[in-house]
Amino acid sequence: MRFTKKALVWAMISVFAFSMVLTGCGSNNNKTSATETKETASQPASTTEAATETASEPEQEKLAPVELNWYLPAAPQKDTKLVEKALNDYLKDKINATVHLNFVDWGSWKDKFPVLLASGSNVDIMFTAGWSQFPQSVAKGYFADITDLLPKYAPKTVENLPKVLFEGARVAGKIYAIPTSKEIAHTNGFAYSTELAKQYGLEDQLKAFQTKIPTLEDLEPILATVKAKDPNVSPLGGVYNMNFAMTFLDFDPVGDQNIPGMLYKNKDTVVVNEYETPEYKEIFKTMHKYYKAGYVRKDAAIVKDGAPDRKGKKVFLLGGTTKPLANEEVGASYGFPLEQFSITTPFITSNDTQGSMNAVVSSSKNPERALMFLELVNTDPIVNNILNYGVEGTHFVRTDVDNVIDFAPGLTGQNSGYFPNAFWEFGNQFLNHFTKGQNTKKWDLFKEYNDSGVPSKILGFNFDAEPVKTEIAAVANVRDELLPSIATGTVDPEVFLPKFNARMKQAGLDKIIAEKQKQIDAWLLTK
């Protein structure tokens, strides 16, 4: 899981304290694909290699060498060049391509990727997502239409990937990106240090949330205990952003969740101003109460990066997404064990099906080879695990248990020269090795999770923001200025929420909502 990642979009803007991970549908197609992928991942490497050849052997022998540049959001890695060498040595006989991994730190990603795309720079493959302007990038012509190329250059990916993901990647009926095969639903919740829970005597209370979904109010006894036991630890984290209310309410975003105007979860297709709903008002009131009680750090409204406090055990409840075993992934990167509980039920939106994808850039001189590489990323466990774990013997070693690895001696997730901890970005997660101590039933749990997801009533809808882009920019300015202090509980919502909504309407919020409703109504007529 990625507390921060799905998502979700919390991961991108530090709403979540652990990884964002989006997406999914419990369809029969998904069930079959997940099972098939799991079986492929469990095969010995030599068997899988033979089963994942890209194109015919004679055709491969004629391929001229090419270089491919892949851009992804992740912490830059010290040993990237070492990993590239291992990857490219393997790729030479496969597709005769040299791939360069370009990791862009999260703080710069939002500003850098549009510049790269607009400039026509030397980019062949670009990570993208619904929360990272995927529909907008398609509309601007930045991504290649790969609908007809996929069956020829990535046939096994097409065969194995859950169909709902490809449907979610379509824009106007065309496919512009290959989604990552991973969790296909989302749930929100919290992670916490098992060590701190034991220290505070909260283990039993927190375990009760495994079977009973708590409300924000249900957390108050937990928060009060943490405050009393250790004033140096902030009881409630993950609130350092404007969308914290979405943790509990899980409204259905219509396009980018940073653009106001949402649907009630599984209710109808009527777009509402979420900030005027009784549910949002109650969340804001409770947050103000918690802020005054000292459960939220005093500077929450201006915090830009909560990661140091999370990793330093200075925050107890870490808000984020809670896919199966997400706590293990983030705990491994933090260096201490985490437990988690969910506060919403599995839900599938268009943002989930577009939560993690890789697109071939329109300006690429080698789109066919880029797809051949992405085919290997999604079907070849050797390629997939080099990308995720680095070089065997240098960054990781095999254990006595089949398909289970460990960090190389002396290394951890914190000091390894290569550990992006971005599994959800590197293609088919069902190919990932298990790490020592990890639950080897992980992919079975993912399958169950995917099957339990309830789809949105507008799954597959893509909002075109172009007609109201001026209003969106104006609304965003108001939102950035006023909402953080309301969302974190810093100010009294009874006083400031009406002023906020008035300013949002002056900036054009009603026009945005009307445009969203118009497009949804037109889309529904085509179904």
Domain extents in the chain: 7-183+353-451
Answer whether residue 179 shows pLDDT above 90. yes
Q: What's the Cα-to-Cα distance from 506 to each of 124, 255, 483, 509, rounded to whole Å?
A: 42, 22, 15, 7
How far apart are the C-alpha atoms of 98 and 89, rounded to whole Å?
8
At 16 the three-state DSSP class reads coil
Full-prediction pTM beyond 0.75?
no
- Among 38-47, 55-64, 415-424, 451-460, the range of highest mean pLDDT: 415-424
Pick the CATH number of 7-183+353-451 from 3.40.190.10, 3.40.50.410, 3.40.718.10, 3.30.428.10: 3.40.190.10
Helix (H) or strand (E) holding 306: none
Per-residue pLDDT reduced to its tens digit, 455-514: 899 988 888 888 999 999 999 999 999 999 999 999 999 999 999 999 999 999 999 999
* Percent over 90 (pLDDT), the chain: 66
The per-residue DSSP string of 411-456 comes to: --TTT-S-----GGGSS-GGGPPEETTS-TTHHHHHHHHHHHPEEP
Residue 417, C-beta contacts closer than 8 angstroms, at least 6 positions apart: 77, 78, 79, 82, 390, 394, 395
Query: What pLDDT shows up at residue 184?
Result: 87
Q: Which of 61-70, 182-191, 304-313, 418-427 shows the lowest per-residue confidence on average (mean pLDDT)?
A: 304-313
Q: What angle do CA 275, 277, 279 make, to 5 degrees?
A: 105
Q: Average of pLDDT values for 444-458?
A: 90
Handedness of CA 166, 171, 175, 178 (dihedral sign): negative
Answer whether residue 51 shows pLDDT above 60. no
Determine phi and psi for 182, rounding to 5 degrees: -155, -145
The residue whose two tokens read 């933090």 is 334
Using pLDDT thresholds of 50, 70 and 90, give the confidence band for residue 429.
very high
Our CA dihedral for 495, 257, 14, 494, rounded to 10 degrees, sits at: 10
How many helices, marked H, and strands, marked E, lie in the chain? Answer: 24, 19
